[in-house]
Amino acid sequence: MKLLLLGYGRMGKLVEALAPEYGCEVAGVLDSRVNRQGEALGPGAWSDVDVAIDFSTAASTEQNFPRLAALGINTVIGTTGWDEAAARLQHVAADANIGVLAAPNFSTGVVLFEALVARAAALFAPQADFSAFVHEAHHSAKKDAPSGTAATMQGILQMDSGAEVEITSFREGEVVGIHELTLDSPQDEIYLCHDAKSRRGFAEGAVRGAEWLCGRKGFFEFRDVWREMR
C-alpha cells in the first residue's frame, strides 16, 4: 500500500519511520514548503497513492482535503482543530465517494479510556452531589486547546449525564498527552487518567487505520473501526 503524508512534523516523521513495518511505502511527503496553497495536489497528481495520512494543521487540512477528494484519495485525518469545517468536509467526502477516517487520537488506549468515561458518565448521572472536570496536558508546541480528545470526553459526559463539564488545558515542555477525568463530591473523589507514554501508539493507529481504510467508502471515526484492526 502506498501512502502520501501531509505534514512532516513529529507525527509525520514517525508515521514515515513506522510505515515499512506494516508493509507500506511512503510515496511522497508534502509540507507547507512544497505544497503552498495545495499546488502539489493538482489534477492527475499522486495517481498511485492508496491512502493519504494528514498530520498537518487545521488550516492545511481544510485547504488540502477537497483537493485529495477530487483526486479520489482516501484520507486518514489526525489533525485537530477543524471542527467548524467538519460538516463541509463530510459533504466533500460524500460527493467524491471516498473513504475518510478522522479522529483526534489514534491510540487504542484512548478508545478504551473513552469507553470508561462513557460508563462513568452513566453511573455519575443520578448522583447530584458529584461534579465532573476534565483536564488535559500536552507539549508546548500543540496549538489547539482544548485537545480533540478532551472535547470528546466533555461531549460524552455532557450527553450522558446532562451536567456542565469544564475543561482545563495545560501546555508545557515535551508532554506527549495526558487526559484526566475527576468526579468530585464533598465526600469522595474519583479519578481516571490516560497518560500517553510515547507518540508511537498514535502513529501505529494511523498506519493501521490507513490499511483498514484502503478501498473503503464513507466517513469513519477511529472508535468505529479499531476492533477490526486488532
The residue annotated as part of the active site, out of 135, 138, 179, 194, is 138
Q: How does residue 230 score in pLDDT terms, banded at 50, 70 and 90?
A: low
Active-site residue, 142 included: yes
Which pairs from 38-41 meet CB under 8 Å and 24+ separation?
38/63, 38/64, 38/67, 41/67, 41/68, 41/71
pLDDT in tens, 140-198: 988 888 998 999 999 999 887 777 899 999 999 989 999 999 999 899 999 999 999 88
CA 63 vs CA 56, 67, 68, 169, 181: distances in Å:
11, 8, 10, 27, 34
| CA nearest to 102, candidates 142, 136, 152, 139 | 152
Active-site residue, 138 included: yes
Beta strands 189-195 and 25-30 are: unpaired
The residue annotated as part of the active site, out of 2, 13, 142, 217, is 142
Kindly report the pTM of this predicted structure.
Answer: 0.84
To which residue does cell 513529529 refer?
10
pLDDT at 130: 84
Q: Which residue type occupies 42?
A: G
Q: Which residue type occupies 228?
A: E
To which residue does cell 492508496 refer?
50
pLDDT in tens, 97-151: 999 999 988 988 999 999 999 998 888 877 768 889 999 999 998 888 899 899 9
Domains of the chain and any CATH numbers? 2-106+200-229 (3.40.50.720), 108-195 (3.30.360.10)
